[in-house]
Amino acid sequence: MMHVPVLLEAALESLAIRPDGIYVDATFGGGGHAAAILARLTSGRLIAIDADPRAAAIAAGVPDHRFSFVSANFRALPAALDRCRVTAIDGVLFDLGVSSMQLDDPGRGFAFGKAAPLDMRMNPHAGRSAYDILSTASEGELAQIFFRYGEERASRRLARAIVARRAAGELPATTSDFAAFVAGVVRRPGRRERTHPATRVFQALRIAANDELEALREGLEGAILRLRAAGRIVAISFHSLEDRIVKQTFRNDERLQVITRRPIRPDQAEIAANRRARSAKLRAAERKVS
């Protein structure tokens, strides 16, 4: 399982792993966190979940009888546990957002460094792609997607420009062409941007294509339902929308006791070694003993 997991030691410490416990890696990805959890188990068990077919292929190469993989979105976590005949768990880890293997595969359409189809689906065989959304959503729907999920201030102007291009039969079909188009619409003359002008828009489309925020709410609820007393739930988020849902869920659910008063963030050494870790925030909570 070749992967550089973010906030690995903090995640393991927050899970408080029992060697004989049952744990869930709700976002298997490249398997980095899963490998570390397995290393701390003796008679315990790890169930991994991921909707990405590539993750399933990686999981198929894990030769460990304590390990089970379920190909599914983590919003279906209770159903995944039922398939494994597990009723209660001792801990669950959510490592949210896009994995390195998805970002590094230009054909998936998550990044715009190279030309690729505008897909962005975690499971490329299910749901609507980003291009499908751009091709069919109304101007109002597009503006709402860009503003709500990307916090893009030029959301209405961009939506209007997309609909006009679409009507002319000139809607950009590749990541690089669409990124250049977005930059031409939203870039503010005379202002230096810290990130590419299309970054927020790509985030918004990815969230919409995968229904990520609602899936997160459902996944957290399913995990809390299946946690044993004193079981831990840990979530690593990479943008404010995810983090807000995690923080509010942990604080407002009366079944939970928050473990992290403030989110744990990577230190400078980890950021230097893995630049994608720079925006990560880890929060943890424990199921109360009634």
Residue 94 contacts residue 106 (beta carbons within 8 Å): no
Q: Is residue 30 part of a domain?
A: yes
Phi, psi (5° rounding) for residue 69?
Answer: -120, 135
Sheet strand arrangement including 22-25: 67-71, 45-50, 22-25, 89-95, 227-237, 281-287, 256-258
Domain with 69 in it: 8-101+212-287
Structure-token match 């299946």, residue found: 226
Residues 95 and 145 placed together within one structural domain of the fold: no
Tell me the pLDDT tens digit for each residue of 210-265: 999 999 999 999 999 999 999 999 999 999 999 999 999 999 999 999 999 999 99
Tell me the pLDDT tens digit for each residue of 117-165: 898 888 888 889 999 999 999 999 999 999 999 999 999 999 999 999 9
Residues 199 and 216 placed together within one structural domain of the fold: no
For residue 83, the domain's CATH number is: 3.40.50.150
DSSP strands (E only) in 3-87: 22-25, 45-50, 67-71
> How crowded is residue 205: how many other Cβ atoms within 10 Å of its Cβ?
27
Q: Structurally, how many domains does the chain consist of?
A: 2
> How crowded is residue 146: how many other Cβ atoms within 10 Å of its Cβ?
27
Tell me the pLDDT tens digit for each residue of 83-107: 999 999 999 999 997 666 666 566 6
Q: Write down the pLDDT at residue 2.
A: 45
Phi, psi (5° rounding) for residue 266?
Answer: -65, 150
Tell me the pLDDT tens digit for each residue of 37-71: 999 999 999 999 999 888 899 999 888 999 999 99
Q: What is the dihedral of CA 152, 154, 157, 163, to 10 degrees?
A: -20
Q: Is residue 2 part of a domain?
A: no
Residues 193 and 258 placed together within one structural domain of the fold: no
Q: Is residue 269 part of a domain?
A: yes
* Residues, the chain: 290
Residue where a domain stops, chosen among 192, 210, 228: 210
